[in-house]
Amino acid sequence: MKYSTLNNTDIKVSKICLGSMTWGNQNTEAEGHHQLDLALDNGVNFIDTAELYPVPASAETSGRTSEILGTWLKKTGNRDQVVIASKIAGTGDYTAHIRTTGFSPKSIKSAIDLELQRLQTDYIDLYQLHWPERDTNRFGVRDYKLDTKWEDNFNAILHSLDAEIKAGRIRSIGISNENSWGTMRYLEESKHNNLPRVSTIQNAYSMLTRTFETDLAEVAQRENVGLLAYSPMAFGVLSGKYIKGNASDNSRLKLFPRFARYSSKQATEAAKHYLKIAEQHNITLAQMSLAFVNQQPFVTSTIIGATKIEQLKENIESIYTTLSDEVLNEIANVHAAIPNPAP
């Protein structure tokens, strides 16, 4: 395994991070534990969860993923061997079953209280805001409209998180599904008010979704904020299984077809081109897709997830694949012809 350090911290993490949002829905507790065992045996020490998970979110399942991680920690006693990242849910109808009070001080304290109980631990290594509290573009939304009702609360949020760090309940902080303006506002507040500095940003990034490169990549590198790339395989589209027609009935897009962000006509066409490149160079599309993300200089860790243990093994092994300049040039040609088909 290869390792990096969470930006602005001394926390060492594997370049592959084990994503968990299928546990408690597509995967059972036993399967989640099996994935954790395999990951740890292969050098993966970084695990990402959220109070929202599993996805799709519901009142009945909310928090179940973290509970599965918690029972594994209790069973194995491996807390000191892993770095745990979690998230407080953002606002909106989708999360009204969790809370409707945003990132208020009471919300942040309550969310951490509950997550620590689920995880059966007394601290979280990286605590993230799952998406902005203000209504702004996220999750592939294209058209922009100013949220005139939201009041700037970056400073208040950082003060709340600072109190949790001082209490020893979280070690570092991150943001997720954020844009350049929001990222810089957090950095500005921390710089001028001696408040905790954002370590990471967890956003979608894959060969089908490279909008992070538009301006956030520069922010990430110049301001030392590491990308935790989620959906690097675009909900499995970049495994090739949907193109080849051999996706299982338990695959995400078959179970939840409403998640169509990565399965548009243009995205499917681009994925076919990428599959051809992988086959011509005798590597799997999955490993080419993950290696592409792993090699980006602004990526701190690549979040992988799988419903099948065989998939997980293949995904972890991608860390040992290095794409040649020839392959990278061919990928660049497809991206030039079909840029960001799944923003």
Catalytic residues: 53
Give yes or no for a contact between 105 and 60, defined as CB atoms under 8 angstroms apart. no
Alpha-carbon distances of 160 from 60, 91, 115, rounded to whole Å: 28, 17, 16
Angle, vertex CA 301, rays to CA 205 and CA 303, nearest 5: 60
Nearest to 295 by CA among 173, 205, 198, 199: 205
Q: By three-state DSSP, how is residue 100 classified? A: coil
Both tokens assigned to 78 = 């491996």
> How far is the C-alpha of 136 from the C-alpha of 139, rounded, in Å?
10
Both tokens assigned to 248 = 């299982």
Give yes or no for a contact between 136 and 90, defined as CB atoms under 8 angstroms apart. no
Helices assigned H by DSSP within 213-284 = 216-223, 241-244, 252-255, 265-280
> How far is the C-alpha of 101 from the C-alpha of 277, rounded, in Å?
48
What's the distance, Cα to Cα, between the start and end of the chain in Å?
A: 30
Give yes or no for a contact between 114 and 63, defined as CB atoms under 8 angstroms apart. yes
> How far is the C-alpha of 141 from the C-alpha of 295, rounded, in Å?
27
> How far is the C-alpha of 47 from the C-alpha of 123, rounded, in Å?
14
> How far is the C-alpha of 61 from the C-alpha of 68, rounded, in Å?
12
Q: What count of residues does the chain have? A: 343
